[in-house]
């Protein structure tokens, strides 16, 4: 695909922790070009470089820093494809407004993840769930669509579990150690998290428990519904004083009772079906199995596959459930911006983002293509 084939894209929540990661991640992307930024009234009307409190290692891309931030409402200039990284307190209603105006909203926020007609997708795990889109459009009567990716810890867990589906996953007990960047900016107060592990991440345990079952679930009813997997998941979530990267420690009960070596082989050999579609940011190996008991290089492991691979280690016997392991994923890349971009790449290969488009906000009388 040449740069002429780059689709312009919008970004809601552009100024936040995840929004900044999007701006970096989309810089130089072969298929997408950031063309529209939206955020709250605090930022609207200001150049992005002034409105944002930039907290990334690399500077904001030049072309983006000078763009003027818009209010988070559909307007005539907003492209069809819009990524969403907004605060969950407002994301639900704003994303629905964009879908009603004909936009394709690819979201990070929790608000619609568990709606029965909204795909919750990790392409390597359950790409086929995008089949919910036509059903969503019919049911909601909107020309756009909302597609979501899971919560940052859930993505890491789901990628580690996906290779184990042939063994029959019955029960999962998972403990997370989550980085502070997962709480946005300014996030967790330093006096709370320094020298401490905070045994509470609001809403996270429920999300992991429910989202994992939907992700591993099966499409039923002619593609109109997802039957959640019959897997019981129990999660404990903790905030720790690392900057990036969520570590999950999981014990898993598998029906076929494979040995740790068989589990390790299944994980190391895992290749996703969309991999064959050559998505630009899909890692060669979505799950990497690290050797060695001690791996004191969390930043290197979190950035495996450009931050898109999950690094599994210490696959061993669990005396309670059968097998246990650790898995590390980058929370704002694989767990957020990168996850959405990968979903959009997959949607594009399915021909779901093509066609003429004028926002209903620009011309409510004009019918939408596609």
Interface with ligand NAP (CB under 6 A): 13-19, 39-40, 42-43, 72, 85-88, 90-91, 108-110, 151-152, 181-182, 184-185, 331-332, 335-336
Q: Judged by CB, which is closer to ligand NAP: 283, or 335?
A: 335
Q: How far is CA 21 from the centre of its chain?
A: 12
3-state SS class at 40 = coil
| Catalytic site includes residue 236 | no
| Catalytic site includes residue 103 | no
CB of 223 to ligand NAP, least distance (A): 26
Q: Judged by CB, which is closer to ligand NAP: 17, or 266?
A: 17
Residue whose CB is nearest to ligand NAP in the complex, by number = 16
Q: What is the largest CA-CA distance in the chain?
A: 64
Q: Which of 29, 129, 135, 246 is catalytic?
A: 246
What CA–CA distance (Å, rounded) separates 131 from 356? 22
State both tokens at 18: 């995840």
CB-CB neighbours of 348 under 10 Å: 21
CB of 232 to ligand NAP, least distance (A): 24
Nearest to 161 by CA among 310, 336, 281: 310
Q: Judged by CB, which is closer to ligand NAP: 212, or 332?
A: 332
Q: Judged by CB, which is closer to ligand NAP: 93, or 316?
A: 93
> Secondary structure of 223-257 in the HEC alphabet?
HCEEECCCCEEEEEEEECCCCCCEEEEEEEEECCC
Q: Judged by CB, which is closer to ligand NAP: 54, or 185?
A: 185
3-state SS class at 30 = coil
Q: Which of 129, 135, 152, 237 is catalytic?
A: 152
State both tokens at 347: 């949607």
What CA–CA distance (Å, rounded) separates 358 from 189? 44
CB of 93 to ligand NAP, least distance (A): 10
CB of 221 to ligand NAP, least distance (A): 29
CB of 109 to ligand NAP, least distance (A): 4
Beta strands 104-107; 310-318: pairing state = unpaired
3-state SS class at 315 = strand
CB 83 within 8 A of CB 95: no
Show Cβ contacts of residue 362 under 8 Å, excluding neighbours closer than 6 positions: 75, 76
State both tokens at 274: 């969309």
Q: Judged by CB, which is closer to ligand NAP: 40, or 209?
A: 40
Q: How far is CA 318 from CA 58, 192, 250, 258, in A?
A: 41, 33, 10, 12
CB of 257 to ligand NAP, least distance (A): 34
CB 286 within 8 A of CB 266: no
Which residues carry out catalysis? 152, 246
């Amino acid at each position: 695909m040449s740069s002429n084939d780059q689709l312009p894209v919008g970004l809601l929540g552009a100024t936040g922790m995840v929004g900044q990661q999007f701006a970096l991640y989309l810089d130089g992307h072969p298929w997408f070009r950031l063309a529209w930024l939206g955020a709250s009234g605090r930022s609207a009307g200001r150049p992005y470089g002034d409105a944002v409190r930039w907290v990334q290692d690399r500077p904001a891309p030049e072309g983006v820093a000078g763009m003027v931030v818009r209010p988070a409402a559909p307007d005539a200039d907003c492209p069809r494809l819009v990524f969403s990284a907004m605060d969950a307190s407002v994301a639900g209603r704003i994303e629905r407004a964009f879908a009603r105006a004909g936009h394709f909203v690819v979201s990070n926020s929790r608000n619609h993840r568990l709606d029965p007609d909204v795909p919750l997708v990790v392409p390597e795990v359950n790409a086929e769930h995008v089949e919910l889109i036509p059903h969503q459009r019919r049911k909601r009567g909107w020309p756009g669509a909302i597609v979501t990716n899971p919560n940052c810890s859930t993505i890491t867990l789901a990628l580690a579990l996906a290779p184990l589906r042939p063994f029959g996953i019955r029960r999962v007990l998972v403990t997370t150690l989550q980085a502070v960047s997962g709480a946005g900016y300014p996030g967790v107060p330093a006096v709370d998290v320094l020298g401490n592990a905070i045994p509470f991440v609001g809403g996270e345990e429920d999300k992991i428990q429910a989202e994992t079952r939907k992700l591993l679930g099966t499409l039923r009813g002619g593609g109109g519904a997802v039957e959640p997997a019959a897997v019981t998941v129990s999660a404990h979530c903790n905030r720790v004083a690392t900057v990036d990267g969520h570590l999950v420690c999981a014990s898993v009960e598998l029906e076929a009772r494979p040995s740790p070596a068989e589990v390790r082989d299944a994980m190391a050999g895992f290749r996703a079906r969309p991999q064959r579609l050559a998505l630009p940011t899909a890692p060669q190996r979505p799950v990497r199995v690290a050797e060695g008991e001690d791996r004191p290089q969390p930043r290197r492991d979190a950035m495996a596959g450009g931050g898109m691979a999950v690094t599994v280690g210490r696959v061993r016997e669990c005396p309670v459930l059968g097998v246990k392991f650790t898995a590390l994923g980058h929370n704002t890349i694989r767990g957020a911006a990168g996850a959405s971009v990968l979903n959009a790449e997959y949607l594009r290969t399915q021909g779901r983002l093509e066609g003429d488009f004028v926002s209903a906000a620009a011309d409510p009388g004009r019918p939408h293509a596609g």
